[in-house]
Chain A
Amino acid sequence: MTSLDQMSGGRATGESEASSETLRPVPYRGGGFRPVPIRLIGPLVFLAIIALWEAGSRSGVISNLVLPAPSEAFEAFSYLVESGQLWRHLSASLQRLVIGWTLGTALGIAVGLGIGLFSLARAGLLPLVSALFPIPKIALLPLFVIWFGIGEGSKVATILFGSFFPTVIATYGGVDNVDRTLVRMGQSFGLSWWSIVRKIILPGAMPAILSGCRISASIGIILLVAAEMIGAEYGVGAYILMAGSLFATDQLLAGVAILSVLGLIVSWLIGRLERWLLAWRG
């Protein structure tokens, strides 16, 4: 008899022993800790809350003074659309946001790459960035007005500075995390410095840069309203502030909803960008 036969013989006796007692399955301990996407749940939550809110307002549980009904906010929004004001406000805001955020992000990526690549830039700029990042840019708004004028300059500058710092920090962190063996590989094949930066470091840092973009875009929208507090005739922020000062809460809610939809659209766009640029992650 070979040893294998002996082993299977041993297993057979083991089995008969087990069946004389009760058989029970191994308790399952895996699973969890990994949320999977479920479609439609998100919109359903939104709809349910709005429906509850509307029902509360109509039945009088929620006083109109405390919170206007969603339908009233929607009416205010419809009026905005019909009077043609929506586009005016939106285009003014979008222009500031796009210019400020694009410049801030581009500069942020450039400076972040510099900090990630050059010792001198790291030694000189990193403390500066760390010192300036936590300052609320809103606090600097009066200074920006003095420096860049009461017009578009100060508004764009606020958004620019707001999106610049998170991008710098995300970018240099991303560069630090690029696999050094890939850089060494590039060097060993004699790739030029610029090729290594463009083809190895930048794509390697891209996941971090894009999550930095997500954060800086949200900060940009937050700062948009703050920037439009001073001397803006048009803009979603200006509209909200005007509504607030008149206690026109329905208009205020309509404005806030516009901002929130703007945020959703931006985050969707960045999601598309991520899916396109980071397709290799699978």
Chain B
Amino acid sequence: MDLLLRGITHRYGATEVLSGIDLAVSEGEIVCIIGPSGCGKSTLLRFIGGLERPDEGEVLLSGPVPSGSLNPLTYVFQDFALLPWRSVEANVSLVLEDHPLSAAEREEIVADVLERTGLSDFRKALPRQLSGGMKQRVAIARALSVRPAVMLMDEPLSALDSQTRELLMDDLVALWQRERFTACYVTHNLAEAVRLGHRIVVLSRRPGRIRTIVEIDRDLGAREAGDPKLDAVQRELWQLLRDEARAADREIADDVA
């Protein structure tokens, strides 16, 4: 299933947040979206997930929804969004309970995704007993349980320390190699973008427009820290972003004043 964004423009009150975004995301591709703070990345992701409607433009799906997909467009949130009163397995089964599945089928899916994310030993744990990295693993397991066609990830690793982030990035790469999932991945972290993105969309400061799209045609599994080519891409991205980020930073300060 492919995703097509056409002429997305949006205003909150008088401020134009996004302006004329055209983007196509094809199946099995991870598209990273980077841009200065407040340029509308999260807003764009909410449009893609159908949680909000843009003023102008449309988000279109093409091709059949993969069979067995319970929730084609599935979020992974920055702050995990786990229910604190439910155990790990109950948090996963929450999103299956509204679908016509037998208890045994549900149990099978839960066991399977917890296995795949290395959480089998933590089934009965409550979120408050888990570290940040473990919580995000639960959130990823929950997203996988509904067999998403496209994963919408809004800074999924930003609340984690850098070591945990490295580990989870490795996990995501391994997962992609196995399942070839499609993803829109919003991040502030250029290293993450370079590590995980097949294409990297650079947005300008508010109102967010697509400045460039950088393509990295190196297999995800073959990307390693210190790869000169990736480092060059990362430097290039930083060049693009630096001035925007500085301007955006000042803009926000002006807004407050």
Chain A residues at the B interface, C-beta cutoff of 8 Å? 179, 181-182, 184-185, 187-192, 195, 199-200, 203, 278, 280-282
Q: Type the 1/0 row for B50-88, where 1 means its CB is closer than 8 Å to any CB of A.
A: 010000000000000000001101110101010111100
B126 and A282 within 8 A (CB): yes
A184 and B81 within 8 A (CB): yes
Q: Which residues of B contact A191 (CB under 8 A)?
A: 94-95, 98
Asked whether B243 is an interface residue with its Cβ less than 8 Å from the other chain, the reply is no
A189 and B95 within 8 A (CB): yes
B51 and A203 within 8 A (CB): no
A184, B50: Cα distance in complex, Å = 11
Asked whether B97 is an interface residue with its Cβ less than 8 Å from the other chain, the reply is yes
Closest A residue to B148 using CB positions: A189
Asked whether B38 is an interface residue with its Cβ less than 8 Å from the other chain, the reply is no
Q: Which residues of B contact A203 (CB under 8 A)?
A: 83, 85
Kindly provide the distance from the CB of B161 to the nearest chain A CB, expressed in whole angstroms: 21
A196, B201: Cα distance in complex, Å = 34
A280 and B128 within 8 A (CB): yes
Q: Which residues of A contact B193 (CB under 8 A)?
A: none
Closest B residue to A206 using CB positions: B85
A181 and B95 within 8 A (CB): no
Q: Which residues of B contact A185 (CB under 8 A)?
A: 75, 77, 81
Asked whether B133 is an interface residue with its Cβ less than 8 Å from the other chain, the reply is no
* Closest 3 A/B residue pairs (Cβ): A185-B81, A280-B85, A189-B95
Q: Type the 1/0 row for B138-173, where 1 means its CB is closer than 8 Å to any CB of A.
A: 000010001000001000000000000000000000
A-B contact pairs, 21 of them (CB 8 A): A179-B81, A184-B51, A185-B77, A185-B81, A188-B49, A188-B73, A189-B71, A190-B71, A190-B98, A191-B95, A192-B98, A195-B97, A199-B94, A199-B97, A200-B83, A203-B83, A278-B85, A280-B85, A280-B126, A281-B84, A282-B126
Tally B residues with Cβ within 8 Å of A.
Answer: 23
Main secondary structure of the interface of B (DSSP, over half): loop
Q: Which residues of A contact B94 (CB under 8 A)?
A: 189, 191, 199
Kindly provide the distance from the CB of B108 to the nearest chain A CB, expressed in whole angstroms: 19
Chain B residues at the A interface, C-beta cutoff of 8 Å? 49, 51, 70-71, 73-75, 77, 79, 81, 83-86, 94-95, 97-98, 126, 128, 142, 146, 152
Having A187-B51, A192-B98, one finds 7 other A-B pairs with CB under 8 Å, namely A184-B51, A184-B81, A189-B71, A199-B97, A200-B83, A281-B128, A282-B126
Q: Which residues of A contact B71 (CB under 8 A)?
A: 189-190
B98 and A195 within 8 A (CB): yes
Known: A195-B97, A199-B94, A280-B126. A182 touches B83 (CB 8 A): yes
Known: A189-B71, A195-B97, A280-B85. A181 touches B49 (CB 8 A): no
Q: Which residues of A contact B146 (CB under 8 A)?
A: 189
Q: Which residues of A contact B152 (CB under 8 A)?
A: 188
Closest B residue to A196 using CB positions: B98
A280, B90: Cα distance in complex, Å = 13
Kindly provide the distance from the CB of B68 to the nearest chain A CB, expressed in whole angstroms: 15
A11, B49: Cα distance in complex, Å = 56
B98 and A282 within 8 A (CB): no
Kindly provide the distance from the CB of B74 to the nearest chain A CB, expressed in whole angstroms: 7
Q: Which residues of A contact B126 (CB under 8 A)?
A: 280, 282
Kindly provide the distance from the CB of A119 to the nearest chain B CB, expressed in whole angstroms: 18
A199 and B83 within 8 A (CB): yes
A182 and B98 within 8 A (CB): no
A188 and B98 within 8 A (CB): no
A211, B70: Cα distance in complex, Å = 38
B75 and A188 within 8 A (CB): yes
B84 and A188 within 8 A (CB): no
A281, B70: Cα distance in complex, Å = 31
A200, B75: Cα distance in complex, Å = 17
A137, B131: Cα distance in complex, Å = 50
A280 and B84 within 8 A (CB): yes
A195, B95: Cα distance in complex, Å = 10
Q: Which of B73, B94, B128 has the most CB of A within 10 A?
A: B94
Closest A residue to B85 using CB positions: A280
